[in-house]
Structure 1
C-alpha cells in the first residue's frame, strides 16, 4: 500500500485537473438529476479525467464519483477514492465563483487523505489524518472565537425534492435563530467552501443539515485536522451514519450545538 504522504500528493495533483477545467471551461449541457439538482458536461469531464489519472497512478485503490458511480477496478481494496467533481454546481452554472473540486481517500468509514481546490480563488487545501491541514503550503488552524455573537456561521443550501417543504421549515427556523444570535449568517452554496473556510478561520461554524460523504468527507478531514470539531446534531462525533453535519471552532461548539438542538 502507498504511504499516505505520497497519496496526499496524488490527491493534490488530481484535484488540480478539475481546477484547470473549471477555470477554462463553461458548461455546454446542464442535466437535471432531481428537482432543481443538476450536473453539467464539465462535471462529467472532470470526473472522467480524474478517474483515469487515479486509475493510472493508484490502480490498487477503488474509486467512486458523484456523477458516474463506482469503479469495478480494485473492488477488494480497503481504500477508495471519493470525488465530488464540482461542489457547488449551481454556482458554477450561474457564473458564481464559489465552487470546488473535492477528493477524499476513505478507509471504511474513515477519511485518511483529503484535497480540495477552489479554482476561482486559487486556494488549494489538503490534509492527512494526524498530519495537520494546509492551504497553499500554510498550516491551518480553526478560529479562536469564544462568543457566538462574534461568529460567522455558514449554513448549507435549503432542501430540494421530496419532503423539501418540511425540511425547509426547520432550516428557516434555524436561520432565524442564527440571525438573532450570531454576527452573520452565510450561505456559500458549497459544503467544500463551508468546511475548508472553517479550517482556515474564515468562518467559525458550518451547519450542513445532511450527510453526503462525497460532498463532505474531504472537507471534514481538513476541518478536523485544523482543530475544528465535527459532530452530528446530537453532539456525538460525526460519522457516515450521522444525520446532520455540525462543524465548529472548539470555543463556540457548545453554544452553537445548543442553538441547533433548540430547533431539531
Structure 2
C-alpha cells in the first residue's frame, strides 16, 4: 500500500492559504451557475491560488477544481472545493469549509478539510488514521436509529429540481420517523468531517461531485466510516450517491435509502 503522508504538508499548506483568504476577504460579486445556484468571486480566486501552489509544489499530480474544472491530469489528482457551502459563506453562516482531496485512480487516499470560522482542521492519509487539530478521531459507536443524528445533503435546485427532490424528500420523511434528529448543514465536507469525528452518525447526500466528496471520503474512511453508493458498493467518483455511515448503522440506514424512490 502506498504511503501518502509525505503529501500532507503540501495539502495542509494549500488549505491553510485558502482558509486565510476566506477569513479575510469578502465573497465579491456572484456568478450564476444555474437557477438558484452561484459561485462567488472568492471561490474562483481561492481555486486559482490553490491550483497554482499545488502545481508548483507537485507538478506530477493533476488538478480538478469545482469552478474551472480539470486543469491537469495524471495518475493522481488533487480535487478541490474552494468554498464548500458558498451559500452559507455569502450569508455569514459559519458552516462552510475548504475541502481538498487526493484521488489515486478512483480511490480517495488523502483529505484535508478546514472550517475557517469554526477553527477546525480535519486531516487524513490512507492507512494513517484521521485527526482534527492534530488529535485522533473516530466515528461513533451508535447502533440504534432512535439515537442517531443524521445529516442529509442539500435539496436540488435548477433544472428538474422538483423531480430530483422527490427521493430527497421521501428519505427525509423516512429518517424523521425513526432517527433522533435530521440535520441539513449545507456543507458536504463538514457532513463527512463531523461523521468522522462522531458528532453525527450518518451523512447522506443523494448526488456525487468529486470536489464535494473526495476529501471527506478519505477522512471519514480513515476514521472508520462506511462510505458507499446506494447499492452498497464502495463509493468512488462514479457513484450515484454518497452515503457515509458509522458501521453499526450501515445496514439500517442503507435500507432506508433503498426504500426511497431513488433510481440512480
TM-score range for the pair, normalised by the shorter chain length: over 0.9
Equivalent position to 2:254, from 220, 239, 257: 257
Gaps (5+ residues) in structure 1? none
Matches of 2:14 and 2:124 in 1, distance apart?
14
Matches of 1:221 and 1:55 in 2, distance apart?
21
1:170 aligns with 2:167: yes
Aligned to 1:124: 121
Gaps (5+ residues) in structure 2? none
> Structure 2 length normalisation: TM-score?
0.95
Aligned to 1:183: 180
Matches of 2:240 and 2:27 in 1, distance apart?
32
Alignment of 1:69-218 (within 5 A): 69-72=69-72, 75=73, 77-218=74-215
Asked whether the equivalents of residues 81 and 212 of structure 2 are also in contact (C-alpha less than 8 Å), the reply is: yes
- Residue 240 of structure 1 and its aligned partner are, at CA, apart by 2.0
Q: The residue matched to 1:39 in structure 2 has which SS?
A: strand
> Structure 1 length normalisation: TM-score?
0.95
Alignment of 1:24-63 (within 5 A): 24-63=24-63
Equivalent position to 1:236, from 233, 237, 252: 233
Matches of 2:171 and 2:109 in 1, distance apart?
32
- Give me the CA root mean square deviation: 1.3
Aligned to 2:5: 5
Aligned to 1:21: 21
Asked whether the equivalents of residues 3 and 126 of structure 2 are also in contact (C-alpha less than 8 Å), the reply is: no
Matches of 1:230 and 1:183 in 2, distance apart?
21
How many residue pairs get aligned? The number is: 260
Matches of 2:3 and 2:227 in 1, distance apart?
26
Matches of 1:6 and 1:129 in 2, distance apart?
11
- Residue 3 of structure 1 and its aligned partner are, at CA, apart by 6.0
Matches of 1:5 and 1:253 in 2, distance apart?
29
Q: The residue matched to 1:194 in structure 2 has which SS?
A: helix
Matches of 1:71 and 1:245 in 2, distance apart?
25
Matches of 1:68 and 1:242 in 2, distance apart?
22
